[in-house]
Amino acid sequence: MKREQASDWSLEFEKAIATSGLADDISRCISCGKCTGVCPVAAISPSYNPRQIIREVLLGNYERIVHSEEIWRCFWCANCAATCPSEIKYPLLMLYIRYFSMSPRSM
């Protein structure tokens, strides 16, 4: 197994997402889990967890997120955004993370 390196982590990742303004301020996430509770993908695929993905982004776990196949499971139904008490636009966060996964690392 590949050793985790300091460069695998990046707090700049969350800053880039915040600067984009797409998903709104994900630091407002209170980890309530409502997004995961209403997600049809999470219902049939328990390893998919929007609340956990936001946590990982906030922690700066860049490599884990951008190379995860989980980021390709969301199909933008927007149930999560409709129920989020912090008004986080999670589907747009997914869009942005997919963009990062296909772009050369720039931070």
CB of 13 to ligand SF4, least distance (A): 17
- Which of residues 62 and 88 has its CB atom nearest to ligand SF4 in the complex? 88
Residue ranges that bind ligand SF4, judged by CB under 6 A: 29-35, 38-41, 50-51, 54, 74-80, 84-86, 88, 90-91
Cβ proximity to ligand SF4, 6 vs 44, nearer residue? 44
* Shortest distance in whole angstroms from residue 47 CB to ligand SF4: 13
Tokens of 94: 């997914």
CA pseudo-torsion sign 15, 21, 22, 27: positive
Output the CA angle 38-42-89, nearest 5 degrees. Answer: 55
> Is the CB of 66 or the CB of 80 nearer to ligand SF4?
80
Rounded Cα gap, residues 17 and 77, in angstroms: 21
Nearest approach in angstroms of CB 103 to ligand SF4 is 21
Q: Which are the contacts of 107, defined by CB distance < 8 A and separation ≥ 6?
A: 10, 12, 13, 16
Q: Which is nearer to ligand SF4, 77 or 107 (CB)?
A: 77
